[in-house]
Amino acid sequence: MNSRLYCVIGYPVKHSLSPKLHNGRFKKLKIKARYFQEEVKPEKLGEFMRGFKEKYSGANVTIPHKEKVMKFLDEVAPEAKKIGAVNVIVNRDGKLVGHNTDVVGAIAALKSDVKIIKGQYAVILGAGGAARAVIYGLKNAGSHVLILNRTVENAEKLAAEFDCKFGALEDFDATNCDILINTTSVGMWPKIEETPLPNLKENLRAANKKPVVMDVIYRPKMTRMLKDAKACGCKVVIGEKMFLAQAAESFKLWVGKTPTSSGTPRR
């Protein structure tokens, strides 16, 4: 029996810990499968997907392909269709089906540190595929959501879809913020000194607020934004929690088994 092949599709993708995590799980459960990285430039996505179903049994999808990959799939699960983004592909006997496990991962990560989400005021940084899943999950949980993005037009479009408020990144004001979540790639390895909110500490102190601050980036574990928030006494939620929760759901979709361990792969 040949090994089934899986991969993570993104650009860039070298930072991804998915291969170590999933290959470790395949080995532990004695499943004949292997998992790879596929760095695919945006303009090459269509070409890559045309040969996908002949080679791969499934994939994770990351920045910047979560939205655009949908048009290359045969079917999109109802929840992923509502979110408007896909982060998991399952090759079901030659039929490519898209799913979204980011929403499960984001809410599971938040609930580990936030006991009440309903009625909370959440500020989301970014307007891409990860933002869509986070916003969908928060809205379903009863939060009030404000979307801030570098390109305001993108925030406005997303806000219209999900019935949220919107603004520019530089408009961030902690005064009415209970939950702050970064869904952008700003601060991701190797550019670990970058942050989407350079004045976060000053803003938090001026507003005398200590929101729960989460970053979907998991490498580094503590981004500059999380460090700044922690320095102000905020409770922080590392992206690794979301990563592990969504990865467990991905694994279950591919092989029909829940991972026996959600431990972090060694770097």
- Looking at residue 186, what is its pLDDT? 97
Tell me the DSSP string of 39-74. E--GGGHHHHHHTHHHH-SEEEE-TT-TTGGGGG-S
- Looking at residue 260, what is its pLDDT? 64
CA nearest to 5, candidates 263, 244, 255: 255
Can you read off the two tokens belonging to residue 206? 């001026």
Q: Are 200 and 228 in contact (CB under 8 A)?
A: yes
Fold of the 103-241 domain: Rossmann fold (3.40.50)
pLDDT digits over 98-151, tens only? 999 999 999 999 998 888 899 999 999 999 999 999 999 999 999 999 999 999
- Exposure b/e, 79-95, CB count within 10 A at least 16 = b: ebebbbbbbbbbbeeee
- Looking at residue 80, what is its pLDDT? 98
- Looking at residue 261, what is its pLDDT? 53
How many angstroms separate the CA atoms of 176 and 153, rounded? 23
How many angstroms separate the CA atoms of 130 and 183, rounded? 6
Fold of the 4-100 domain: Rossmann fold (3.40.50)
How many angstroms separate the CA atoms of 180 and 186, rounded? 15
How many angstroms separate the CA atoms of 32 and 197, rounded? 44
Q: Is the peptide bond before 220 cis (omega within 30 degrees of 0)?
A: yes
Domain boundaries, the chain: 4-100, 103-241
Chain-centre distance of CA 38, in angstroms?
Answer: 18
- Looking at residue 116, what is its pLDDT? 86
How many angstroms separate the CA atoms of 248 and 88, rounded? 11
Q: Are 67 and 85 in contact (CB under 8 A)?
A: yes
Common-topology check for domains 4-100 and 103-241: yes
Residue 66 bears catalytic tag: yes
CA distances to 34, 71, 106, 171, 203 from 16, rounded to whole Å, are 15, 24, 17, 31, 32
CA distances to 15, 173, 193 from 188, rounded to whole Å, are 8, 23, 9
Choose the catalytic residue: 53, 66, 209, 241. 66
How many angstroms separate the CA atoms of 26 and 250, rounded? 13
Contacts of 235 (CB under 8 A, 6+ apart): 113, 210, 212, 213
| Element at 135 (helix H, strand E) | helix 129-140
3-class DSSP assignment, residue 4? strand
Q: Are 152 and 168 in contact (CB under 8 A)?
A: yes
Spell out, as residue ranges, where the chain has pLDDT lower than 50: 1, 262-267
